[in-house]
Structure 1
Amino acid sequence: MQTSNSEKAALRIAQEAVATLLRWAESPINFTEYISDSDCTERAKKLLSFDAQSSKIGALQLLFDEVKLRHDRNQNRVKHWCQMQEIPDSDPMVPYPLQDGYPPDPTAYKKRVREKLDPHLKDTQSSNWQNLSLLSLILEKYGFCLNYDSENVAFVDIARITGAVAAALAQNPSAEYFSLVAGDLSGIQSFIYTISTDGALKSLRARSFYLELVTEEIVQQLLDTLDLPRTSVIYAGGGNLYILTPFQENKEKINNLQERLNRWLLKEFQGKVFLALDYENLQCEWVSGSDFKQSWNQAIKKINAQKQRKFNHQLDQLLEIQESYTPCKVCHRDDTEDLKLLNPNEADSSLACPTCRAMFNLGGVLFKINSLVRSHHPKLQDSQPLHTINFQIGDRPEDYIYYHLFEGRKPIIDQPELVLLINNWSINDYSFSRFEGKTLPWLLGNYFQQGEEGYMRAGEFAEISQKAGCISRVGYLRMDVDNLGQIFAKGLEQTNNYSLPRVAGLSRQMSYFFKTYLNGLAKSRSDNLPKNIQCLHNSERPHLLFIYAGGDDLFVVGAWHEVVEFSFDVYQAFRCYTGYNPDITLSAGISLAPIKYPLYQSADDSGDAEQKAKSNGRDSLGLFGQVFKWDAWLGNSEQLMLSHEDRDYLDKVENVPLQGVLPFVRRLNQPSIEYSQSFIRNLLIVAQLREQKIKEAEEEKKRDISYFLHLPKLAYALSRLPKQVQENPEFKPIRQSLMSPRNSPYFRAIATWLELLNRES
C-alpha cells in the first residue's frame, strides 16, 4: 500500500522528535541531516513551537498539579515531578511522582536513553528510521516523563500533536481550520452486564474485550476514511475517541460512515450500543492555546445531543417487525431461534444465542492472547491463530474485517494490515521485520487469576474466601473518577494551562493508570504501592478478575475480602499518582453476593452502591450498605460525616486514638484480641439504636442527647467481653475510641466487616 502524504508528514515529525531526544541524551547519532521539511511540517512545528532544540527538554512537572475545579483552593501547593525512567517492555510499575520540590537530575536517564536507543538507531540508513510505529513507541517509552518547552507538557504529547497537525496540513498546507472529530460508543454497560450466571465471568470478560475491539475498529475505519495515520488520534478508550483531522467542508464522509457503523451496531447488539459521531472545526492557531477548549466542548455538546436521539437515521431498521422466539438464557434476547448449548461439554448448560456462544468461546482463549492481527482475509497463510473475530460492517467485500488472535508476541504473518501488541513496549517487537512497521500498542486492563478453565469461576472466588476463614461470597467492585468531564472541560482553565497537548496528556495519563498500572497493582501489590498506605493485610491480592478497566473506570470481580482491600489499594495509589490533588478523586461501590446470585444483579448492586457514593459528595465508597468518605473508611481524618455544628459540639469531647472504620477492623481482627460473636451482634444493636436515636433527635432538635443515648448499651456490650480481653493493653485504645461519639456512625460498618471476616457460612 502506498504511503499517504499525511503519513509521510507524521513520519518526518517523529523522526525529528526522536533525533531531538537523542541529541538531548548526548548521543553521537545525528539524523537531522536526512530530514527535509515540507510546507505542512514546517507550519505544524511553528504552530506548536516545536523547533527541535534539545535545550527545551527537561524534567516534567506533574500535569495533575495544574487541575483546579474550585476557586477557593490553595494555589501554594508543593510541586510534583515525574520520575525520569522509561516504560519497561511489560508490566510497568506505577511511577509515583517525586514530592521533593525540585526537578530530578537527568544525567543517569540520559545515559540510559543512549544505551537503549543507540543500538537500534545508529544506522541512519536502516528501516527503523522509516518505521513510524517504532519511532512513536520510542517517543512514548522514553519521552512520557520529560517536558518540552513548558514544565508540564510532556515531550511525547507535544511530538504527537505536532505530528497530528502536520498530517492534517498535508492534505491542505494553507488551511485555516482543522476539524476535531469526536465519538462516543454508548450503551457499553447494557451489553456487558445484562447476562445471567451461567458462564458469566468468562462471557463478561469477553464482552468487555469485544467492545474494546469495536472501539478500535471504529477508530481504524475513521482513519481509513479520512486517509490519516494513527498518530492523528488524540485519544481512544473507554468508548470515547478524538481525532484531529483536515478541515471537513461537509459532513458527508462522517455521516456516511456513522450510518454504516450504526446499522452494523444495531444488528450486532440489538440496539444496546450506539455510536455518536460528529466534529467541530477549530482555527489552526487554537491547537496550542486555550481557545482550543471552545471546539473541544462544542464537539462534546454535539455528541451528547446525538445520544438523546439514538438511531434516528436507522428508523427503518428499528421499525422492522421482528418475530419473537424463545429468549436466550444468558442475555435474554428473543430475536433469533438459533439457540444451542452455551457449553457443548456440559449437558445442563444453558441454551444461548450465537452472540453469547461466541463470547463464551472467546472468553476461553483471552487469557492466552498477546497480539492481534487485523486483516480483510478470514485466514492468514501459514498462521494458526487461537481465535478469529469477524466484523461484518457492510455488504461489500472490504466491509468484512477479521481480527486474528495469537498467543505469541511475534506471530509470523505476511503483509499484515495492522498488528496490535497488548501491553507491549518492546523495541525489538516493534522493529520485527515481518510486521513491516504496521504495529500499535494496545493498552488493556486484563489482570486475571487463572483457574481450571482459564479464568477463575465465581465459585472458585467464593471458595477462596471460605478457605481464608471468611464467609463464602463473591465481591463486585465498580469505581470511576469523579467529575471527569469537568476535569477536561474546566480543570485547566483557572491555571491558564488549557491546550491540546495538555488535554492529550491528561487523557494519556488517565489511560495509563486504569489500563496499565492497575495490572501491576493486582499482579505485584508490594512493588506498586506508595509508602505508608492504610490496609487490613499486607499480603498480595491475587484472586481478582478485571472485567473492565478503561479510560477512567473499572469493574473487578473476585474473592470478596480481596476485592474490598483492593479498592483501598486502588484509591490510595490513584491519589498518590495524581499528586493528592483534592479535585481529582474516585468514588466506588462494592457488592457481595452468593455464587448463584445473578451476575447482572450483582453488577447493578455495585453500580447502585457507586451512585450512592457519588451522591455523598463524591470521593466516597459504598460498602456493606454504608456510604462514607474514603478518609472515614481509612481513618485518615476527623469525623467527616458530621455537620459543622455537630463537629463544633464534639470538639468539646476528648480526642481519641482511633477514628474511622479500617483502624478498628485492623485492631479487632488481631489474634491477640479474642471476642465472641455476641460482641459483634451487640455492636450492630448499638448501631441500630444510635440510628434510631439520631432520627428522633433530628425531629426534636436535641443534638447532644442523640450522640450519647446509645453509650450505656455499648458500655454493657464491652463489659461482657472476656476479662483477658478487657485487660489486654492493646484493647484499651479500642475501648476508649469506641466509647467516643465520634466513631458511633461507623459501628454498623465495623461490625459487618468483622462478622463477614469471621463467619464461614
Structure 2
Amino acid sequence: MEDRVIFAALAGLLHDVGKIEQRAQDAPWNPPEGYNPEGQPVHAGWTEYFIQHSVPAAYHRPALQGVYHHRPEDSPAEDRRLGWVVSLADKLSAGERADDEPAGPGNRPPQQMLSIFDRVGAYRDRPGLAHHYLPLSELRLAREALFPVGQSSPDDTRRLYEALRDRLREEARNDPGDAETYLENLLGAFQRNAWSIPSAYYHSMPDVSLYDHARMTAALAVCVDELPDQQIIRLVEALRADFAHAATPEQKTMLDAPVALLVGGDISGIQSFIYTLSARRAAQTLRGRSFYLQLLNEAILRYVLRELGIPLTNVIYAGGGHFYLLAPLSAAKKLPDLQRQITRTLLKHHGTGLYMALGWAEVPASGFSIGRFSRTWDRMHAALRRVKQQKYRELGEDLREVFRVQPHGGNQEKLCSVCGEEKEDCQPLEDEPGEELGRICGLCASFFRAFGRRLPEASYALLTLGAPQPREAGSALDVLAEFGLGIQFYDANRRLLPDGAELPGAERGVLWALDDPRGWPEVSLPAARGLRYTVNRVPHETFDKLQERSHGMKRLGVLRMDVDDLGALFRAGFGEGEKSIATVARLSTLSFQLSVFFEGWVKRICEEVSGDRIYAVYSGGDDLFLIAPWHLVPGLARRIAEDFSQYASANPDVHISGGMAFIHGKYPVYQAAEDAHDALEQAKQRPGKRSFAFLGEAWGWDEFAALEQRFTTLVQVIQEQGGPHSLLQVLQRLADLYRSRRGGGNRPLWGPWMWLGDYQLKRMIEQAKNKPDLRASLQEIYAELSPLYHSLPLWGKAARWAQLYLRNDKEESR
C-alpha cells in the first residue's frame, strides 16, 4: 500500500484525538503550555500535544498536518495539501452533526455518549423519554462497561477520561515497525478506548463516538486524497458555506458531484453451507464451518482492500457474511475484475455452494449529511440485489464452467459422510482405530482439524496477511490462502496451538483477541492488535453425549434468535426522507453495538448460564444459533432477551424473538436448523413479535416469564415438597378441556374443567394435610385458578414443561 494512502488515513484518524486529552484536564479550556492556538480550537492544540508525546516520530509529519483541519490555510507546514484533505474528510464525516439539537437540559450537555438506541424509532421522535448514556470505559465484556447508565458527576467524568487517555497514549506508542500495521494497531486502540467517547456534544446529540467519527474521517481522507488539489479546496469552501446556509448555486452543484464509493459485499449460501450436514461428526465440524465463514468473509474483505490499495480504516462494518466499506472513485474500474476473481476462486473450492456479490454506489459530497445518506445506502443495496439475481454473469464465456458435468457420480468411495458431496480426496472416517464409519472429504476434515478442534481452546487468533497464493482445491486453509490469509491460534497462556497454518511469505499479521485480552502473544511478524469477540463455546463431546447431560428427558434444545425487523430499523429507524438522521457514522455505530452484544455479551451469558454445556454454532451480527441440553435453553433465551432489552435502552422499537426445537442427538443438523427456524417464524407471527416459541406456542416475553414462574412452582411442589406427579397430568387434562371448548375466543366460558378442577385440586389439598408446605402451595395454585380458571392454559403448559424436566430414565426408555 502506498505511504501516501496510509498517511492520509493516519492524519484523519488522529485529527480529533486532542478531545480526549482536553477533557481529561482540570482546566479543559486552557491550551497546552507553550501552544499558540492562532485561531484554532483548543482541542487542536491538545491533538498536537498527543502526537508529539505519544505517536512515534516517524509519523509526526503526516499526523501533524491533520491538526490544522479547521483552518488548513493557516497551517505552518510547507505542504498544506494533507491538511486540506483532512479538512474535507472531517466536514464530510461530521455531516451527522447537522441535526443542531442541544444535547442536554439547560444547554449543559454531558461529556458522555448517548446510546445509539435512543436515536432510533420511538426515542428519536419523543424527546421526553429519558436519555441513556454509555459508560466512559474501555471496551470489555462487563455489564458496567457495556450497558447504559445515567450521567456521571463532573469529577468522575474527568477521572474516567484520564484513564482512557492514559491507555490510548500507551497503545499509540507501540510501533510494530510497519506503517500499515501501525495504522491498524492505532485503529484497534481507538476502538478499545474511544468507542464510548462522544465525538461532539455541543449543538448536536452526542450519539456518534470519537472512534467512529475518527475512522470515518480517515476513510474519507483516503477517498478524497485522489481528487485534484483545487477541487479539494473548493469543496471545503462549499461545505463551509453550506453549513452556514450560504452556499451558492454553483457550490451546491459542486457538492452534488461524487467523491467516494459505498461498496457492499454479501455471501450467499451460508445457511445451506453450515447446516446441510449429516448427524455424523456434526458436533466436531459444525462450529468449525461457522467460524470458517467468518474467516472467509474477512479474507475476501482483506483481499478487496489489498487490491484497491486502501486500509482497514475504510471498513464501515464486517460480519455476518457481509461487509461495507468506503473506497475512492477510482475503485469502480477495479471492482468488476475483483468480482470475477472472487467468483472463480469460490467456484474452484466450493462449486456453486457459496457466492460473494459485490455492489457499489457513488456518494456525492452532499450525500454524507443527514437526510441524504440513506439514499446512497438504498442504491448500494439495490446494486447488490441485482448482482445476486444474476449470479455468475461476470464470468462471461466462462459461465459454462458453472454447468460443467462432474466427472464422478454414484461412487460411494468418494462420497463424504459429513457433507454428502462426492469428492476425489475422501478418506476413511474413524472414531476409534479400526472402526470405519464412512468417509470424509478434505474440506470437511479441515473444518474440524484447523478450526473446530482448536477454537474452544483459543483465546487469540493470528491472521497472517500477504499476497494471494493459488492453491488446488483441498482444505479450508487453501481457500483462505488464495485470498492471502493464513491463521494460527493461541491459548489463554499465549502459547501457539497446533494445526493452524501461517501464510508462506506473509508480510504482516493481525492479532485478534477472542475475549478481553490479558496480555498479547509474541509473534515474529509486525502485528496489529484488535478485538474480535467470538462465542467459542464447544463441548468436547458428541451431540449424543451432550444430550445425556439434560435434566429429565434426554434431548437437546436448538435455539435460534434474531432482532425483529432489523432491516426496517436500518432503513427507516433513523427517520425517512429529508427527516432521516441516518449517516454512515450512525449506521456504523448501530452495527457495531449489535455485534458487541451478539458476538461478545452472548459469550458471557453462555458462560454464566451453562459453563461447558452450550454448543455455539453461531452468534454474531443480529442473530444466534445455539444447541444445549434442552432444560438450559428456555432460561438462556429469556436471559438473552432481558439483557438485550436493557442493552438497547429498553427502546420499545428494538426487540428480539426466539424459537426453540427439541431434537435427538442423532437428528440431522439441517433438519434441526429448519425446525428451530420454523419455531422462530412462529414467534414472529405473533402480533408485536418480541416473542419466544416454546412447546408449540408463541409467548410474549412477559407471558413467558409468567410461564417460567409457574414451571418453577410445580417443580418445587413435586421435588422439594413431595407433591404428587399426578398434579401435572391433572393440569394438562384440564387445560386441554379448556382449549377445546374455548375455541380461541376471549369470552368467559363455563365448562367441566371448573368442577373437575375444584374436585381434584381440593382432594389433593386434603391429602396433603400432614405436609403443611405442600398444602399451602396447592392452595395457592387453586386460589389462582378458581373460580374462572382463566390462567389454566398457562398452568397446563407449565405442567408439561415440568413433566419433561422431571421425567426419569425409566420413563424415557418407554
Under a length normalisation based on structure 1, what TM-score does the superposition of the two structures give? 0.83
Identity across matched positions, percent: 25
CA deviation vs aligned residue, 1:57-76 (integer Å, no higher than 9, x gap): 921111101110799x8553
Match of 1:41 in 2: 86
Query: What does residue range 728-747 of structure 1 map to in structure 2 within 5 Å?
Result: 728-739=775-786, 740-747=788-795
Cα deviation for residue 597 of structure 1 reads 2.2
Answering whether residue 219 of structure 2 is matched by residue 171 of structure 1, we say: no
- Partners of 1:620 and 1:735 lie apart in 2 by 28
Query: Is residue 2:698 matched to residue 1:630?
Result: no
- 1:401 deviates by 4.5
Equivalent-residue separation in structure 2 for 1:50 and 1:18 (angstroms): 19
Instruction: For residue 25 of structure 2, give the secondary structure of its aligned residue in structure 1.
Output: coil
Other-structure match for 1:758 = 806
Paired amino acid for 1:366: L
2:416 pairs with one of 322, 328, 333: 328
Which is richer in helix? 2
Shift of 1:181: 0.3
- What are the Cα deviations for residues 51-107 of structure 1, in whole angstroms up to 9, with x where unaligned? 99xx99921111101110799x8553221111121124x778762211579999412
Alignment of 1:478-557 (within 5 A): 478-493=560-575, 496-524=580-608, 542-557=612-627
Change (3 A) 1:307 1:674: farther
Structure 1 CA distance for aligned equivalents of residues 96 and 122 of structure 2: 33
Structure 2 residue matching 1:579: 3-state secondary structure: coil
The Cα offsets for residues 444-490 of structure 1, whole Å up to 9 and x where unpaired, read as 222344xxxxx332233222224xxx221111111111111111111
Paired with 1:275 and 1:302, the residues of 2 have a C-alpha distance of 13
Determine which of 694, 714, 719 is the counterpart of 2:757: 714
Tell me which residue corresponds to 1:253. 334
The answer as to whether partners of 1:92 and 1:516 remain within 8 angstroms in 2 is no
Confirm or deny that 1:391 pairs with 2:478: yes
Could you say which residue in structure 2 is the equivalent of 1:687?
735
Q: Secondary structure at the match of 1:356?
A: helix
- 5 Å-filtered alignment, 1:211-230, equals 211-230=293-312
Give 1 or 2 for the bigger CA radius of gyration.
2
Match of 1:340 among 428, 433, 445: 428
**1:154 to 2:201 alignment:** no
For residues 634 and 570 of structure 1, what CA distance do their matches in structure 2 show? 13
Equivalent positions of 1:306-705 (< 5 A) are 306-313=387-394, 315-322=399-406, 323-325=408-410, 326=412, 327-334=415-422, 336=424, 338-341=426-429, 343=431, 345=433, 347-362=435-450, 363-369=452-458, 370-376=460-466, 389-392=476-479, 401-407=485-491, 409=494, 416-423=507-514, 426=517, 429=520, 434-449=524-539, 455-466=540-551, 470-493=552-575, 496-524=580-608, 542-617=612-687, 618-635=689-706, 661-670=707-716, 671-695=719-743, 703-705=747-749
Alpha-carbon shift at residue 400 of structure 1 (Å): 6.0
For residue 131 of structure 1, the aligned residue among 149, 172, 182 is: 182
Distance (Å, rounded) in 2 between the aligned partners of 1:96 and 1:224: 36
Q: Check conservation: 1:169, 1:246, Cα contact below 8 A.
A: yes
Q: CA deviation at 1:122?
A: 7.2
Point out the more displaced range, 173-182 or 340-349: 340-349
CA distance in 2, matches of 1:342, 1:276: 38
User: Letter of the aligned partner of 1:714 in structure 2?
Assistant: G
Change (3 A) 1:398 1:200: closer
Partner of 1:82: 134
- Does the 8 Å CA contact 1:91/1:516 hold for their aligned counterparts? no
Query: 1:64/1:742 Cα in 2 relative to 1: closer, same or farther (>3 Å)?
Result: farther
Q: State the shift of 1:232 in Å.
A: 0.4
Query: Within the alignment, does 1:11 sit opposite 2:95 as a pair?
Result: no
User: Which of the residues 165, 185, 192 maps onto 2:267?
Assistant: 185
For 2:137 and 2:91, the matched residues in 1 are separated by 29
CA gap of 1:427–1:664, structure 2 versus 1, over 3 A, is closer
What whole-Å deviation, never above 9, does each CA across 1:289-312 have from its counterpart, x for those lacking one? 230000112211222333334334
Deviates more, 1:601-610 or 1:208-217: 601-610
Distance (whole Å) between structure 1 residues aligned to residue 109 and residue 220 of structure 2? 20
Provide closer, same or farther for how the CA distance between residues 478 and 121 of structure 1 changes in structure 2, counting only shifts above 3 A.
closer
Helix, strand or coil: the match of 1:148?
coil
- 1:434: how far off? 4.5
Distance 1:550 1:139 in 2: 22
Residue 265 of structure 1: aligned partner: 346
Q: Partners of 2:590 and 2:653 in 1: how far apart?
A: 14
Q: CA deviation at 1:110?
A: 2.2
Q: Report the Cα distance in structure 2 between the residues aligned to 1:42 and 1:255, rounded to whole angstroms.
A: 31
Structure 1 pair 377–134 and aligned structure 2 pair: CA distance change class (3 A): closer
SS in 1 for 2:217: helix
Q: Quick one: structure 1 residues 205 and 125, their matched pair in 2 at CA, closer, same or farther if it must change by over 3 Å?
A: closer
Greater shift after overlay, 408-417 or 259-268?
A: 408-417
- What is the distance in 1 between the residues matched to 2:173 and 2:123? 50
After TM superposition, the score normalised by the length of structure 2 is 0.78
Distance 1:319 1:502, change over 3 A: same
Distance 2:145 2:751 in 1: 45
The secondary structure found in structure 2 opposite 1:691 is helix
* 2:138 partner SS: coil
- Aligned to 1:587, the other structure's residue is in SS state strand
- Matches of residues 204-243 of structure 1 in structure 2 within 5 Å? 204-243=286-325
The answer to whether the aligner puts 1:66 opposite 2:119 as a matched pair is yes
Distance 1:170 1:424, change over 3 A: farther
From the superposition, tell whether residues 241 and 346 of structure 1 become closer, same or farther in structure 2 (CA, over 3 Å): farther
Task: Give how far 1:416 is off.
Answer: 4.1
The range that moved more, 362-371 or 620-629, is 362-371
Q: After the TM superposition, which of the residue ranges 292-301 and 167-176 deviates more from structure 2?
A: 167-176
CA RMSD of aligned residues (A): 3.5
Q: 1:598, 1:752 → 2: CA distance?
A: 26
Q: Per-residue displacement from partner, 1:196-227 (whole Å, max 9, x unpaired)? A: 12221121000001101010011111101211
- What's the counterpart of residue 648 of structure 1? none
| 1:443 alignment partner, SS class | coil
Is the CA contact 1:376–1:398 (under 8 Å) kept in the aligned structure 2?
no
Query: Would the alpha carbon gap of residues 335 and 168 (structure 1) be closer, same or farther in structure 2, given more than 3 Å must change?
Result: same
User: Could you say if the C-alpha distance between residues 126 and 245 of structure 1 is closer, same or farther in structure 2, counting changes exceeding 3 Å?
Assistant: closer
Q: Does 1:31 align with 2:50?
A: yes
Unaligned 5+ segments in structure 2 are 27-31, 33-45, 53-59, 67-81, 98-107, 233-257
CA contact (8 A) 1:203 1:360 kept: yes
SS of 1:181's equivalent in the other structure is strand
